[in-house]
A and B are shown apart, each in its own frame.
Chain A
């Protein structure tokens, strides 16, 4: 605790000394935050932070951008930043989604990075706007102790600042932290701090200067499955004959506290409630409706423990890895299914076609470190173009499948640090001439034709030398 306090003081001193140098930069923005309310949801391993900002323009010129500041460690684990402007009062409140982009500004003090919210209506002098911001952090809970045995429950650290890191002057602010259970081992106190059942309240704090930082540490119990897919490759193969084949290759890991020592099956089977509470053995995958030929297997064959439920709106596949996953245990598997192509493939007005499919990982409550979406277009398609509503890396590849000659174009979309919020549709546009559908059948027909011709001619030729 003592060391912690010293570190905190050090930080504060550092910030205050830096404050003067950046004050000019910040004040050029001429914005201030009248009220900030932050709600941090720590109930799962995906941390959701809801931030409500009331921003006021105190400068002379109208402002059209609002900056959000994140510490370097946060930026590294930041999966999503979304913002919306609220208009109207109370019941008639409406949300207007706003663009958020990573700012190119030079990093602030201590490597602070910025994200810029672009306002739809610039704020003129004296006006205020209310912004709702949601950002999601992954892999930010550090298990402590880092190794636990089968019978222990999992405790984690969460690190943040009690005071909102902001490039602006903040008049008033509060922070609420919600923990999954009432078991909280310890938390840093930055007066005023209050704890009530599963909620810890920091604040209200008044008049905080820009870049004020008050590190806090919350040590609490979190037994939710820390299911992380280290790499997921989704291959979506379009066939104009009527099928859309999806193959998903997972490498799953339990990213919580590492399992230590004995795994006793007898304990695991007889004392279900309190043994291996942080482990998990089921995962739920939400698949599109009308799926068919679903399979679930891994490198050494079919995994027989899965259950599929289908209805008109969605299909749910409950999968069980071969063994329950304890902390640090890994597993790899493949899920594959087919869906009717007419549900996802459409003709665009300009005569081309486009695929409309969900981007992210179908497993509920999982983080994907590296997500590869590969759209395999039919052989002979041209001008592929992907439209995704968030930044992804794109490239093209060629894949040879059944009897291909020129190969199929593959649009590869790569996204790091994907969360369930990325499960939104994306589009791939391309142009395709239906005559190419007949290429392979015709090829086979020709091959067999020549084979039969050869056979007939061989039977009718007398190749013997003797007559």
Chain B
């Protein structure tokens, strides 16, 4: 009778627990969604920054023209005159997701615009990501840790920075896909179910569609498999978790046009195939071990190992030779800069020039993951007691993620979920221990504690109770689904009773210490929440196309970028070509709908170098370069009047460096005085005569009479000059964007010819011959 009562009690507690955690999960989803709406509330519902504009434009095309036209899309509005094959060079996951969302909504007659759908895709997927985190952490350490990790992920600043409403970038859906793939992998590992293995391959496919970061998965999982094999944890579940993923996953991945044969040919995928072979060998060994007697097995082992080693060496030698024959060793530039952090700055300035490819600083860790950084070690320790397949995976994940985030700021994003999972585990374990200690020392509870194991009024202990149960049921690998309560009722009652009560004895802490510790933990959590909300509201919500500043007379809005793009789109011919530094390429094509020479998809270094060379050349040479590219307008971003620091003058060193890398007549030292780029009176003549300087500061002196640049905090070097080959056609209200038009070819006047050729510079005279041709 007593046991029936007890089982009844636990089932009710289970039911309440699962309903409670269901509602907590819903609230976490709401939290994850709504914390990202600061950008819409403080600014407006608009696409942010640079890359999202490209994705938005692609989505527009997709919704307008349909999927087949999208695959075949050759974009002639960019990289003029080369163009770009969009369908084959873009990760389509994000656009397809948003396109599908839009299509579903519109077929239900909910007429949301494509822009609205795109703006809110990222917050929606962060809610999904926090749910996926719950699932993954639940597989690792149980629902209590899962819920904690999900809450942490819902508001981790690092992830918020990439997924605020309007930040319509690949990472927004990719992080969800990443966590979900990991969850399915761990789930398969825990259950050994082929169903989950198949789902895992599909989730991996979605990840491949979404982000180039999928290589992280396809390297991390083999590493984990290898780790399991080495530590003697090989099981059939491991085989089921891994082998279908490699076969199905690779097949599916090669369906994505941008990956294609890369899925089998590049070195990023090499590890997975190697481990695939190893796991088969190991499986064979285990099989043979099962059917042979120990003595026979040892003989067979030595035979096979000696032959196998020889074959392996040969194969590896051949592979190494093949790989070594390719110049980048089969690795893409970005992957190489991950393995060798100094690679990019040495060989590929274009990768190094992107600020998000720089290594992070220590404050940025604190900014992006905040207190999680301190909780991670505790989580790692918790993962080791006891170490399971799943928790070893989590440990491996955090270790690799920490390394990668140390190389590139951008990959902080991969670290964030790992840090959340670890901190979730740590917090949940800590709460578990402290609340249990308190409960055991409460006087009226002590008598009953042996009977009602894990009974408590606090939520966290209810959850932790569930932890142990699911763990146990996982171990017996019979647990099929949480929803089927019927079976669960009987099984887990007895086992935890004995084992748990022993563990608890060991971990009882003094009553006062527990109370204080809980209080401190809550304080820590509160600090994290405050910091996250601050980061979401203040640090990461600015759309960067609209700038605001607070002054005494209220809010001041700098909407110059859109002013310029709006002007371009309405007042220039639809086929005019606009040259600007590549940062503004995506925005120009998306907002102004004008053809650009280079854009943020920096696939052609020479082309970018051409524009860089033009910007760093004197006016006439630049005019000739632009004329040869059919350019009609040149757009420069200038922050000197209002103090906008990321303008073209500050990016100028990259123009010189990239341009000089391809065209040797641009020499960086010509622009440097004492190793610095200067625009004041100390600047070099080359600097003062280059196009970028002239276009930025043309008639700037007339604004205040001195020409004081508020970004560089100095007076400019050359104040009064005229433009001979360009004319100003538009400057925005705060001078942040200036657009110049190339003057048309002059009619040749006989009398003037001589003096002109004398005046022209040495670089100009070389090209003069080609200009003479039409006449």
Using a CB–CB distance below 8 Å, which chain A residues touch chain B?
A: 261-266, 269-270, 297-305, 322-323, 328-332, 400-405, 459, 462, 464
Give residues 545-568 of B contacting A (CB, 8 Å). 545-546, 557, 559, 562-563, 565-567
**Is there an interface contact between B483 and A459, defined as CB atoms closer than 8 Å?**
yes
Q: A265-B735, A459-B483 are in contact. Are A403 and B110 (CB under 8 A)?
A: yes
Q: Cα distance A459–B22 when bound, in Å?
A: 15
Q: B4 to nearest A CB, angstroms? A: 22
**Is there an interface contact between A261 and B559, defined as CB atoms closer than 8 Å?**
no
**Is there an interface contact between B484 and A464, defined as CB atoms closer than 8 Å?**
yes
**8 smallest A-B Cβ distances: which pairs?**
A265-B731, A301-B46, A330-B570, A322-B566, A302-B44, A304-B557, A400-B109, A322-B563
Name the residue of chain B whose CB is nearest to the CB of A330. Answer: B570
B729 within 8 A of A: yes
**Is there an interface contact between A401 and B109, defined as CB atoms closer than 8 Å?**
yes
Q: Cα distance A322–B486 when bound, in Å?
A: 66
**Is there an interface contact between A301 and B562, defined as CB atoms closer than 8 Å?**
yes
Residues of B within 8 A of A328 (CB): 571
Residues of B within 8 A of A265 (CB): 728, 730-733, 735
Residues of A within 8 A of B759 (CB): none
Q: A304-B559, A462-B484 are in contact. Are A263 and B570 (CB under 8 A)?
A: no
Residues of A within 8 A of B108 (CB): 403
Q: B708 to nearest A CB, angstroms? A: 15
**Is there an interface contact between A329 and B109, defined as CB atoms closer than 8 Å?**
no
Q: B25 to nearest A CB, angstroms? A: 15
Q: Cα distance A298–B486 when bound, in Å?
A: 58
Q: Cα distance A330–B568 when bound, in Å?
A: 10
Residues of B within 8 A of A459 (CB): 483
B703 within 8 A of A: yes
Interface residue SS majority, chain A? loop
Given contacts A265-B732, A301-B46, 12 further A-B contacts (CB under 8 A): A262-B729, A264-B728, A265-B731, A265-B735, A266-B699, A269-B703, A300-B46, A300-B591, A305-B559, A328-B571, A402-B111, A464-B480
Name the residue of chain B whose CB is nearest to the CB of A265. Answer: B731
B727 within 8 A of A: yes
**Is there an interface contact between A263 and B483, defined as CB atoms closer than 8 Å?**
no
**Is there an interface contact between B559 and A323, defined as CB atoms closer than 8 Å?**
no
Residues of A within 8 A of B729 (CB): 262-263
B702 within 8 A of A: yes
Name the residue of chain A whose CB is nearest to the CB of B591. Answer: A300
Q: A265-B731, A462-B486 are in contact. Are A322 and B111 (CB under 8 A)?
A: no
**Is there an interface contact between B728 and A262, defined as CB atoms closer than 8 Å?**
yes
Q: Cα distance A266–B697 when bound, in Å?
A: 12
A-B contact pairs, 16 of them (CB 8 A): A261-B727, A262-B727, A263-B729, A265-B730, A265-B731, A297-B44, A300-B565, A300-B591, A301-B545, A301-B546, A305-B559, A322-B559, A323-B732, A323-B733, A400-B109, A403-B110
Q: Cα distance A299–B545 when bound, in Å?
A: 14
**Is there an interface contact between A264 and B566, defined as CB atoms closer than 8 Å?**
no
Q: Cα distance A322–B563 when bound, in Å?
A: 5
**Is there an interface contact between A264 and B563, defined as CB atoms closer than 8 Å?**
no
Q: A322-B563, A462-B486 are in contact. Are A264 and B110 (CB under 8 A)?
A: no
Name the residue of chain A whose CB is nearest to the CB of B702. Answer: A266
Residues of A within 8 A of B46 (CB): 300-302
Q: A301-B44, A402-B111 are in contact. Are A263 and B728 (CB under 8 A)?
A: yes
Using a CB–CB distance below 8 Å, which chain B residues touch chain A?
A: 44, 46, 108-111, 480, 483-484, 486, 545-546, 557, 559, 562-563, 565-567, 569-571, 591, 699, 702-703, 727-733, 735
**Is there an interface contact between B111 and A264, defined as CB atoms closer than 8 Å?**
no
**Is there an interface contact between A323 and B567, defined as CB atoms closer than 8 Å?**
yes
Q: Cα distance A264–B698 when bound, in Å?
A: 10
Residues of B within 8 A of A305 (CB): 559
Q: A13 to nearest B CB, angstroms? A: 45
Q: Cα distance A269–B700 when bound, in Å?
A: 12
Q: B117 to nearest A CB, angstroms? A: 15
Q: Cα distance A291–B198 when bound, in Å?
A: 56
**Is there an interface contact between A323 and B44, defined as CB atoms closer than 8 Å?**
no
Name the residue of chain B whose CB is nearest to the CB of A298. Answer: B566
Residues of A within 8 A of B567 (CB): 322-323, 329
Residues of B within 8 A of A332 (CB): 570
Q: B720 to nearest A CB, angstroms? A: 13
Contact of A270 among B702, B730, B735 (CB under 8 A): B702
Q: B302 to nearest A CB, angstroms? A: 45
Q: Cα distance A462–B483 when bound, in Å?
A: 10
Residues of B within 8 A of A270 (CB): 702-703
**Is there an interface contact between B110 and A323, defined as CB atoms closer than 8 Å?**
no
Q: Cα distance A323–B111 when bound, in Å?
A: 30
**Is there an interface contact between A404 and B484, defined as CB atoms closer than 8 Å?**
no
**Is there an interface contact between A323 and B484, defined as CB atoms closer than 8 Å?**
no
Residues of A within 8 A of B732 (CB): 265, 323
Residues of A within 8 A of B591 (CB): 300
Residues of A within 8 A of B569 (CB): 299
Name the residue of chain B whose CB is nearest to the CB of A264. Answer: B728
Residues of A within 8 A of B562 (CB): 300-301, 322
Contact of B563 among A297, A299, A323 (CB under 8 A): A323
**Is there an interface contact between A300 and B731, defined as CB atoms closer than 8 Å?**
no
**Is there an interface contact between A304 and B728, defined as CB atoms closer than 8 Å?**
no
Q: Cα distance A432–B733 when bound, in Å?
A: 50
Q: Cα distance A302–B728 when bound, in Å?
A: 27
Q: Cα distance A402–B112 when bound, in Å?
A: 9
Q: Cα distance A299–B568 when bound, in Å?
A: 13
Name the residue of chain B whose CB is nearest to the CB of A320. Answer: B733
Q: A300-B562, A300-B591 are in contact. Are A403 and B109 (CB under 8 A)?
A: yes
Q: Cα distance A299–B570 when bound, in Å?
A: 11
**Is there an interface contact between B546 and A323, defined as CB atoms closer than 8 Å?**
no
Q: Cα distance A91–B545 when bound, in Å?
A: 63
Q: A264-B699, A322-B567, A331-B566 are in contact. Are A303 and B559 (CB under 8 A)?
A: yes
Q: A300-B591, A303-B559, A322-B562 are in contact. Are A263 and B731 (CB under 8 A)?
A: yes
Q: Cα distance A269–B486 when bound, in Å?
A: 78
Residues of B within 8 A of A269 (CB): 703
Q: Cα distance A402–B591 when bound, in Å?
A: 28
Contact of B111 among A297, A301, A331, A401 (CB under 8 A): A401
Q: Cα distance A332–B565 when bound, in Å?
A: 13
Name the residue of chain B whose CB is nearest to the CB of A403. Answer: B109
Q: Cα distance A402–B108 when bound, in Å?
A: 8
Q: Which among B109, B480, B591 has the highest number of chain A CB atoms within 10 Å?
A: B109
Q: Cα distance A405–B108 when bound, in Å?
A: 9
Q: B210 to nearest A CB, angstroms? A: 26
Residues of B within 8 A of A329 (CB): 567, 570-571
Name the residue of chain A whose CB is nearest to the CB of B166. Answer: A301
Q: Cα distance A262–B722 when bound, in Å?
A: 13
Name the residue of chain A whose CB is nearest to the CB of B556. Answer: A304
Residues of A within 8 A of B480 (CB): 464
**Is there an interface contact between A331 and B728, defined as CB atoms closer than 8 Å?**
no
